[in-house]
């Protein structure tokens, strides 16, 4: 009964979306106030119905209702309940329901938190989002109903893929989808601005916080996915340039460009056309990602079970949404006026260059990801494009962007002078060069790549400090404030920017050092054997059998010794998930600020010993730490008081002069 109710709620949701799209769009374009009044309550209703439907699916999973096909295929009575919960979005169907839940959630949030937006604009925005929603709800109902019954019911379920039975995987998809779907908000703002012809700086100001928060979610989602790969796949890799990873990375790159471009549009009125186009592209890439993951056109480790029929549906939808937006763009954009004037050396130029680099980087990732498909479609043979290509292409494109990250925030709007910039940044520059040349020696061997990576990281970090310092000095000197008063009066958005940029620096340190100095040992270990890696000696003390809820396995007990003294114990496991008969390596990881000790149990050998892999991964956690700092920066920026109290009179001036 519950699944049918849930199914019915989702059907109702589709009807609501249809009505909402019709009344909002027609109402807004014709100026019917009564019609426009529908859009806000409709968004709430849509969110309510979808939440209701989603809860029905969750209940089916939690209560082990194996008469539901989705539950029978992706869950099991022995599965612990948090994973049963996560299993509700573990399949294609369930994840699609999560997707529409997020979409309706964003719509409700837009309806709730857009007080300053005029009614007709809000109607347009929600109408556009409702159009997107119609596509996804029909996709769900027509091709991928998560509530389908299984007759006769299964005795027990086929269990969730063991790879997904992990805390990281419980929250990774919701975060990622919040990001993907969140970009639909700025997309809707852009389309609404194009339709209404009001492509001024206001729309940029309204949509900026939405973009930033979606971007922060996406950042966390990607970081969680990478972290999961690191500890779950058992060999400590964290990024593989797999098509599915690229599918999430491309919108991230474009979203990053979009945030910066929105900044210029809001503050200076420039780049209006470019910003609108970026908003469209970013969301299009989110949709493209959905298509790539669910259609089976590319081979990936992470793809869902695919079905060409679904592929046709999403592609049709993609063509409709993106095609229509780009037609609208080509029609409306030429009428948009130019913005404020600026010089070749100015913050605008630096941000433009950064935008260009980010978008070219995203385009290169797209090219590499789709190239095998292009060749195949043209009948020119099959090739693979993997990490060697992406590393070779991506890093040189991003390096100048990293360099600009130091210069952009400190340069002035409109017109900056090279000597002035040089004066401000000369120490940061000298120190970063010297330290990047010397620092690798402290780690052991010197290598060009490590030195180069550190150069960028130190440069970004120091330029941020110089920026903060100059700003504080200006304030205490020019406005006669005390130091702490100046610190407190700088807006959150400014600190957010610094935090995100430092996050990039931290990230680069992690990537550089772990690539440069990782140590790996594959050994044959018997009880009592030790293996020495770096300063650590690892001793295998015991092996015991493991009896989990839905798996059996072996757990090693390892003592970690430093200078002969035991400092820690680690317990790597090898599990066999009984339902799917799948072996999983549960690595034991000792996380540290400067290094991870990573032990993974391989295969048993005929003489009773075990293959054991140990890694010493210096600074690897800085990779995810950096990503979380970036996301934190985004959240800080959104928490800026000008978004909360838009009515304060001094806000406007500060917005332009200080908080950028």
Site for other proteins in 392-411 (CB under 8 A): 393, 397
Asked if 549 interacts with other proteins (CB under 8 A), we say no
Asked if 608 interacts with other proteins (CB under 8 A), we say no
Rounded Cα distance between 211 and 227, Å, is: 24
Find the part of the chain contacting other proteins (CB under 8 A) among 155-163, 211-219, 388-396, 503-511: 388-396
User: Residue 501: is it exposed, middle or buried by C-beta count within 10 angstroms (0-12/13-18/19+)?
Assistant: buried
Asked if 189 interacts with other proteins (CB under 8 A), we say no
- Residue 77, φ and ψ in degrees, nearest 5: -65, -25
Rank residues 38 and 523 by Cβ distance to other proteins and give the closer one.
Answer: 523
Is 80 in contact with 162 (CB distance < 8 Å)? no
Cα of first residue to Cα of last residue in the chain, in angstroms, is 54
User: Using CB under 8 A, which of 11, 19, 150, 360 touches other proteins?
Assistant: 360
Find the part of the chain contacting other proteins (CB under 8 A) among 50-58, 219-227, 275-283, 434-442: 275-283
3-class SS letters over 407-452: HHHHCCCCCCCHHHHHHHHHHHHHHHHHHHHHHHHHCCCCCHHHHH
Q: Which of residues 199-258 bind other proteins (CB under 8 A)?
A: 200-202, 204-205, 233, 235, 237, 240, 242-243
Q: How far is the CB of 151 from other proteins (least distance, A)?
A: 28
Q: Helix, strand or coil for residue 634?
A: helix
Could you tell me the two tokens for 487? 């610190």
Rank residues 368 and 453 by Cβ distance to other proteins and give the closer one.
Answer: 368
Q: How far is the CB of 308 from other proteins (least distance, A)?
A: 5
User: Using CB under 8 A, which of 30, 80, 343, 592 touches other proteins?
Assistant: 343
User: Using CB under 8 A, which of 295, 493, 512, 600 touches other proteins?
Assistant: 295
Asked if 591 interacts with other proteins (CB under 8 A), we say no
Asked if 423 interacts with other proteins (CB under 8 A), we say no
Asked if 197 interacts with other proteins (CB under 8 A), we say no
Rank residues 150 and 367 by Cβ distance to other proteins and give the closer one.
Answer: 367
User: Residue 478: is it exposed, middle or buried by C-beta count within 10 angstroms (0-12/13-18/19+)?
Assistant: exposed
**Residue labelled with tokens 């086929």:** 158
Relative to beta strand 565-570, strand 551-562 is antiparallel
Q: Which of residues 621-660 bind other proteins (CB under 8 A)?
A: 646-647, 649, 652, 655-656
Q: Pattern 433-472, binding to other proteins, x per CB under 8 A? A: ----------------------------------------
Q: How far is the CB of 480 from other proteins (least distance, A)?
A: 26
Rank residues 154 and 318 by Cβ distance to other proteins and give the closer one.
Answer: 318
Rounded Cα distance between 212 and 471, Å, is: 23
Q: How far is the CB of 393 from other proteins (least distance, A)?
A: 5
Q: How far is the CB of 153 from other proteins (least distance, A)?
A: 28
Helix H or strand E segment including 553: strand 551-562
3-class SS letters over 95-136: HHHHHHHHHHHHHHHHHHHCCCCCHHHHHHHHHHHHHHHHHH
Rank residues 18 and 399 by Cβ distance to other proteins and give the closer one.
Answer: 399
Rounded Cα distance between 91 and 504, Å, is: 33
Rounded Cα distance between 193 and 195, Å, is: 6
Rounded Cα distance between 614 and 617, Å, is: 10
Asked if 110 interacts with other proteins (CB under 8 A), we say no
Q: How far is the CB of 652 from other proteins (least distance, A)?
A: 4
Where residue 17 falls (left for φ over 0; alpha for ψ -120 to 50; beta otherwise) is alpha
Find the part of the chain contacting other proteins (CB under 8 A) among 254-262, 351-359, 481-489, 620-628: 351-359
Find the part of the chain contacting other proteins (CB under 8 A) among 367-375, 460-468, 497-505, 630-638: 367-375
Q: Which of residues 487-546 bind other proteins (CB under 8 A)?
A: 521-532, 539-540
Is 176 in contact with 221 (CB distance < 8 Å)? yes
Asked if 572 interacts with other proteins (CB under 8 A), we say no
Asked if 294 interacts with other proteins (CB under 8 A), we say no
Find the part of the chain contacting other proteins (CB under 8 A) among 178-186, 289-297, 426-434, 436-444: 289-297
Q: With contacts defined by CB under 8 A, how many residues of the chain interact with other proteins?
A: 109
User: Using CB under 8 A, which of 35, 183, 227, 342 touches other proteins?
Assistant: 342
Q: Is the bond leading into 340 cis (omega within 30 degrees of zero)? A: no
Relative to beta strand 519-525, strand 536-547 is unpaired
Cα angle 242-323-195, degrees, rounded to a multiple of 5: 125
Q: How far is the CB of 367 from other proteins (least distance, A)?
A: 5
Rank residues 144 and 364 by Cβ distance to other proteins and give the closer one.
Answer: 364
User: Residue 77: is it exposed, middle or buried by C-beta count within 10 angstroms (0-12/13-18/19+)?
Assistant: middle
Asked if 554 interacts with other proteins (CB under 8 A), we say no
Asked if 588 interacts with other proteins (CB under 8 A), we say no
Asked if 186 interacts with other proteins (CB under 8 A), we say no
Q: How far is CA 363 from CA 27, 250, 340, 382, in A?
A: 38, 8, 28, 21
Q: How far is the CB of 344 from other proteins (least distance, A)?
A: 6
Where residue 298 falls (left for φ over 0; alpha for ψ -120 to 50; beta otherwise) is beta
**For the chain, the helix, strand and coil percentages under 3-state DSSP, each to the nearest 5:** 65, 10, 25
Rank residues 182 and 243 by Cβ distance to other proteins and give the closer one.
Answer: 243
Asked if 120 interacts with other proteins (CB under 8 A), we say no
Rank residues 146 and 209 by Cβ distance to other proteins and give the closer one.
Answer: 209
Q: How far is the CB of 571 from other proteins (least distance, A)?
A: 18
Sign of the dihedral defined by the CA atoms of residues 443, 448, 452, 455, in that order: positive
Asked if 606 interacts with other proteins (CB under 8 A), we say no
Q: How far is the CB of 357 from other proteins (least distance, A)?
A: 8
Q: Pattern 144-183, binding to other proteins, x per CB under 8 A? A: ----------------------------------------
Asked if 305 interacts with other proteins (CB under 8 A), we say no
Rank residues 136 and 291 by Cβ distance to other proteins and give the closer one.
Answer: 291
Asked if 279 interacts with other proteins (CB under 8 A), we say no
Rank residues 259 and 509 by Cβ distance to other proteins and give the closer one.
Answer: 259
User: Residue 85: is it exposed, middle or buried by C-beta count within 10 angstroms (0-12/13-18/19+)?
Assistant: middle
Is 464 in contact with 483 (CB distance < 8 Å)? no
Q: How far is the CB of 262 from other proteins (least distance, A)?
A: 12
Rank residues 172 and 272 by Cβ distance to other proteins and give the closer one.
Answer: 272
Q: What is the DSSP letter of 335?
A: G
Strand extents, DSSP E, 304-381: none
Q: What is the DSSP letter of 88?
A: T
């Amino acid at each position: 009964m519950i699944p049918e109710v849930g199914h019915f709620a989702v059907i109702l949701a589709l009807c609501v979306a249809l009505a909402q799209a019709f009344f909002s769009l027609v109402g807004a374009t014709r100026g019917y106030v009564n019609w426009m009044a529908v859009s806000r309550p409709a968004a709430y209703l849509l969110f309510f119905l979808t939440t209701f439907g989603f809860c029905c699916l969750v209940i089916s999973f939690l209560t082990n209702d194996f008469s539901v096909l989705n539950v029978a295929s992706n869950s099991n009575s022995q599965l612990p309940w948090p994973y049963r919960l996560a299993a509700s979005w573990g399949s294609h169907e369930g994840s699609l329901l999560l997707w529409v839940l997020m979409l309706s959630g964003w719509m409700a949030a837009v309806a709730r938190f857009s007080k300053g937006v005029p009614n007709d604009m809000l109607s347009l925005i929600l109408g556009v989002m409702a159009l997107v929603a119609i596509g996804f709800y029909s996709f769900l109902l027509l091709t991928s109903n998560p509530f389908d019954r299984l007759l006769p019911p299964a005795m027990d379920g086929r269990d969730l893929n063991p790879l997904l039975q992990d805390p990281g995987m419980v929250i990774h998809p919701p975060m990622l989808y919040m990001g993907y779907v969140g970009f639909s908000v700025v997309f809707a703002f852009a389309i609404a601005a194009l339709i209404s012809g009001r492509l001024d700086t206001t729309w940029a100001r309204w949509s900026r916080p939405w973009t930033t928060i979606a971007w922060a979610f996406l950042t966390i989602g990607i970081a969680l996915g990478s972290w999961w790969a690191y500890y779950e796949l058992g060999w400590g890799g964290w990024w593989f340039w797999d098509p599915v990873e690229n599918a999430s990375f491309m919108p991230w790159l474009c979203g990053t460009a979009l945030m910066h471009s929105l900044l210029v549009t809001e503050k200076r009125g420039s780049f209006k056309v470019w910003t609108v186009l970026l908003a469209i592209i970013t969301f299009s890439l989110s949709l493209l990602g959905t298509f790539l993951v669910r259609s089976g056109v590319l081979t990936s480790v992470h793809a869902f079970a695919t079905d060409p029929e679904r592929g046709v549906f999403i592609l049709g939808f993609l063509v409709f949404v993106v095609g229509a937006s780009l037609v609208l763009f080509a029609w409306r954009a030429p009428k948009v006026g130019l913005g404020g004037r600026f010089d070749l050396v100015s913050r605008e130029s630096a941000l433009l260059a950064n935008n260009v680099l980010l978008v070219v980087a995203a385009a290169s990732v797209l090219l590499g990801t789709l190239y095998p498909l292009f060749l195949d479609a043209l009948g020119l043979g099959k090739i693979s494009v993997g990490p060697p290509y992406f590393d070779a292409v991506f890093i040189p494109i991003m390096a100048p962007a990293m360099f600009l990250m130091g210069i952009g925030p400190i340069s002035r709007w409109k017109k900056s002078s090279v000597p002035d910039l040089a004066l401000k940044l000369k120490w940061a520059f000298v120190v970063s060069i010297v330290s990047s040349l010397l620092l690798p020696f402290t780690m052991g061997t010197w290598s060009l790549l490590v030195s180069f990576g550190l150069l960028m990281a130190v440069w970004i970090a120091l330029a941020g400090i110089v920026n903060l310092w100059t700003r504080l000095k200006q304030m205490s000197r020019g406005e006669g404030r005390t130091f702490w008063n100046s610190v407190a009066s700088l807006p959150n958005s400014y600190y957010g920017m610094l935090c995100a940029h430092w996050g990039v620096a931290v990230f680069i340190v992690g990537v550089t050092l772990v690539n440069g100095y990782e140590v790996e040992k594959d050994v044959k270990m018997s009880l009592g054997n030790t293996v020495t890696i770096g300063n650590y000696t690892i001793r295998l003390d015991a092996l015991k059998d493991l009896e989990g809820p839905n798996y059996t396995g072996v757990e090693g007990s390892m003592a970690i010794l430093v200078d002969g003294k035991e400092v820690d114990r680690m317990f790597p496991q090898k599990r066999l998930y009984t339902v799917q008969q799948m072996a999983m390596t549960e690595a034991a990881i000792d996380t540290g600020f400067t290094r991870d000790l990573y032990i993974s149990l391989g295969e048993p050998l005929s003489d009773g010993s075990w293959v054991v892999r140990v890694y010493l991964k210096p600074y690897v956690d800085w990779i995810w730490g950096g990503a979380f700092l970036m996301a934190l920066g985004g959240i800080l920026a959104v928490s800026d008081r000008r978004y909360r109290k838009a009515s304060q009179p001094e806000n406007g001036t500060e917005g332009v002069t200080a908080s950028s």
